[in-house]
Amino acid sequence: MLYIVYGFCFSFVVFAYYNAVLTSLMTATPAEIPIRNFKDVSDRKMSILVWKGSASLQRLKNAPEDSAMGKVNTESQNSYQNNICISLFLN
């Protein structure tokens, strides 16, 4: 009789664990971050929007031409399609 009670308790714990894992997988999937650095912005042909006269604009203008930030700056000046406002703290 005691084995039946232990078996029932063990089965309940396994069922509860399975149910919790299944629920968490179906409801909380990790979100994909589409932009991680300026290379991602450059690859997607996006523009950067910054405040005129801000430190972010100066950082963007002072970026080396061969860097991803410099390429984004050049592309942003030439095209205003697919505009996106992002933080300039990306590396």
Domain residues of the chain, as ranges?
1-30, 38-84
| Most confident of the following: 6-10, 52-56, 76-80 | 6-10
- For residue 60, which of 91, 41, 88 has the smallest C-alpha distance? 88
Average pLDDT, the chain: 77
At residue 15, does pLDDT exceed 90? yes
Phi-psi region of 38 (alpha: psi -120 to 50; beta: other; left: phi over 0): alpha
Please determine, for residue 46, whether its predicted confidence score (pLDDT) is greater than 60. yes
Q: What is the pLDDT of residues 77-91, one digit of tens each?
A: 665 444 444 444 444
Distance separating alpha carbons of residues 28 and 32, to the nearest angstrom: 12
Q: Which residues pair with 43 in a beta bridge?
A: none
pTM for this entry: 0.45
**CA–CA dist 56, 28 (Å, integer):** 34
5-16 mean pLDDT: 91
Q: Are the beta carbons of 46 and 83 closer than 8 angstroms?
A: yes
Residue 83, phi then psi, degrees to nearest 5: -65, 145
